[in-house]
């Protein structure tokens, strides 16, 4: 059999499988499309009305906000300093717009960056991003570094494989290396990779994953000797859950430190190297030592239907910053590792804010 005969036979089978299916039938979908279009039109009318109302009350709001004292959950003298980098997720384009804010929620700045992931470099003067804006069918995803204000993007193009993507990642404490999730349509080379931070070259694999499984969200340990990452596995319950792994940066000593199904994507390594904070599905913040011992949930009373995700540490290890999601919206919060002093950082309503990262540098 030649390649065209095989291709046509495979095409016939797919065409039969996707012809006249009932479950996702055209009638149901066309109704959905009409509903969605009407909804959007209604939203546009609402927005127009809201803009008019907003202009009318803007002066009152500005005056009120100038006079209103902020009411922190914890005393002001306990609130630490620094700058939080976080994303506002846009479900339509499946990327986030990135912002910074002071830890007390003031000085919110739109960095003008749209990317899947972003993370402070050590020192907080620069940010590692996924360079989604440069992706085309002929140009794979690569990392880039921007200044703390979002300017001066420097693409890291040192890895030349045209079929291979390098996604979300983290920079080592000494600033020399970047650990990234690597993936391709081939699927056979999905894994965790390390490259040089100077140019994105020197690609080497530290952990691999069977095709079809999600592997990602790698972070360095504070001393740079280990990497923690998340991996999913088919059949694991609940859906989308997986486990946290650690591996030495040379690829040796791979260990699973949570049960399968016991973790969800995104985790943070404490500055003293003693704890990893992660999300137990769905929405429960959990601490575990890097050797997998002493796992315990952070006792945190959250509103029904809400969930905590994307946890990360403050530079002094005294706080955990995270995204608190409810009804499709989310803001950035922080708590003490013992579950006390829950404090809201960002307050914008109607947004889905995620993946906060904290630096001591002031914005």
Chain residues binding other proteins by CB under 8 A are: 1-4, 6-11, 13-15, 17-21, 23-24, 26, 29-30, 32-33, 36-37, 40, 89, 91, 93-95, 116, 132, 135, 137-138, 141, 162-163, 165, 167, 183-188, 214, 216, 232, 238-240, 264-265, 279, 281-283, 305, 307, 309, 325-326, 328, 330, 354
* 309 within 8 A of 283, measured Cβ to Cβ: yes
8 A C-beta contact, residue 288 and residue 274: no
Q: Specify the residue, 264 or 358, whose C-beta has the smaller distance to other proteins.
A: 264
Nearer to other proteins, 20 or 75 (CB): 20
Residue with smaller CB distance to other proteins, 172 or 232 = 232
Whether the Cβ atoms of residue 85 and residue 100 lie closer than 8 Å to each other: yes
SS (H, E, C) 99-152: EEEECCCCCCEEEEEEECCEEECCCCCEEEEECHHHCECCECCCEEEEECCCCC
CB of 200 to other proteins, least distance (A): 17
Q: At closest approach, how far in Å is the CB of 78 from other proteins?
A: 29
| Smaller CB separation from other proteins, 2 or 65 | 2
Cis bond upstream, residue 316 (ω within 30): no
**Which residue number, 83 or 310, has a Cβ lying nearer to other proteins?**
310
Across 173-188, b (16+ Cβ under 10 Å) vs e yields beeebbbbbbbeeeee
**Minimum Å distance from CB 244 to other proteins?**
14
Q: How far is the CB of 5 from other proteins (least distance, A)?
A: 8
Contact 288, 243 (CB under 8 A): no
Minimum CB distance to other proteins, residue 167 (Å): 6
Is residue 208 within a helix (H) or strand (E), and if so which, with residue range? Answer: strand 204-208
Q: Least distance (Å) from other proteins to the CB of residue 265?
A: 5
How many CA atoms, within 13 angstroms, populate the side-chain half-sphere of residue 78?
13
CA distance 173 to 158: 21
- Name which of 145 and 265 has its Cβ closer to other proteins: 265
Ramachandran angles phi, psi of 129, nearest 5°: -130, 160
Smallest gap from residue 351 Cβ to other proteins (A) = 13
Helix (H, G, I), strand (E, B) or coil at 242: strand
Helix (H), strand (E), coil (C) string for 164-206? EEEEEEEECCCCCEEEEEEEECCCCCCEEEEEECCCCCCCEEE
Q: Which is nearer to other proteins, 103 or 330 (CB)?
A: 330
Between 123 and 328, name the residue whose CB sits nearer to other proteins.
Answer: 328
CB neighbour list of residue 231: distance below 8 Å, 6 or more residues apart = 209, 213, 214, 215, 216, 242, 243, 245
Closest to other proteins by CB, 146 or 263: 263
CB of 211 to other proteins, least distance (A): 8
135 or 173: CB nearest other proteins: 135
Of 313, 312, 353, which is closest to residue 331 (Cα–Cα)? 353
Please, what is the minimum distance in Å from the beta carbon of residue 7 to other proteins?
A: 4
CA distance 296 to 291: 14
- Give the nearest distance from C-beta 329 to other proteins in angstroms: 9
């Amino acid at each position: 059999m030649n390649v065209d005969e095989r291709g046509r036979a495979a095409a016939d089978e797919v065409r039969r499988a996707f012809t006249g299916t009932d479950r996702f039938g055209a009638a149901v979908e066309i109704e959905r499309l009409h509903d969605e279009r009407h909804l959007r039109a209604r939203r546009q009318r609402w927005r127009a009305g809201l803009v008019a109302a907003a202009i009318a009350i803007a002066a009152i709001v500005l005056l009120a906000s100038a006079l209103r004292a902020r009411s922190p959950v914890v005393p002001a003298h306990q609130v630490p300093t620094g700058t939080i980098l976080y994303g506002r997720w846009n479900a339509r384009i499946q990327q986030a717009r990135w912002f910074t804010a002071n830890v007390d929620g003031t000085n919110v700045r739109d960095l003008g960056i749209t990317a899947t992931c972003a993370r402070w470099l050590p020192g907080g003067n620069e940010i590692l991003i996924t360079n989604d804006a440069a992706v085309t069918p002929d140009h794979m995803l690569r990392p880039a570094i921007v200044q703390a204000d979002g300017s001066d993007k420097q693409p890291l193009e040192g890895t030349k494989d045209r079929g291979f993507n390098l996604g979300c990642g983290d920079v080592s404490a000494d600033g020399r290396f970047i650990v990234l999730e690597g993936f391709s349509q081939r699927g056979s080379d999905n894994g965790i990779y390390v490259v040089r931070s100077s140019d994105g070259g020197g690609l080497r694999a530290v952990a691999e994953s069977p095709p079809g499984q999600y592997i990602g969200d790698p972070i360095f340990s504070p001393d740079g000797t280990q990497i923690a990452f998340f991996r999913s596995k088919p059949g694991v319950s609940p859906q989308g859950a997986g486990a946290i792994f650690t591996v030495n940066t040379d690829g040796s000593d791979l260990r699973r430190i949570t049960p399968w199904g016991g973790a969800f994507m995104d985790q943070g390594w404490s500055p003293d190297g003693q704890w990893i904070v992660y999300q137990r599905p769905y929405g429960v913040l959990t601490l575990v030592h890097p050797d997998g011992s002493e796992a315990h949930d952070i006792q945190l009373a959250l509103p029904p239907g809400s969930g905590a995700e994307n946890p990360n540490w403050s530079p002094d290890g005294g706080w955990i910053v995270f995204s608190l999601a409810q009804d499709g919206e989310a803001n950035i919060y922080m708590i003490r590792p013992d579950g006390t002093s829950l404090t809201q950082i960002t307050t914008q309503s109607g947004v889905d804010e995620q993946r906060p990262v904290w630096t001591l540098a002031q914005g």
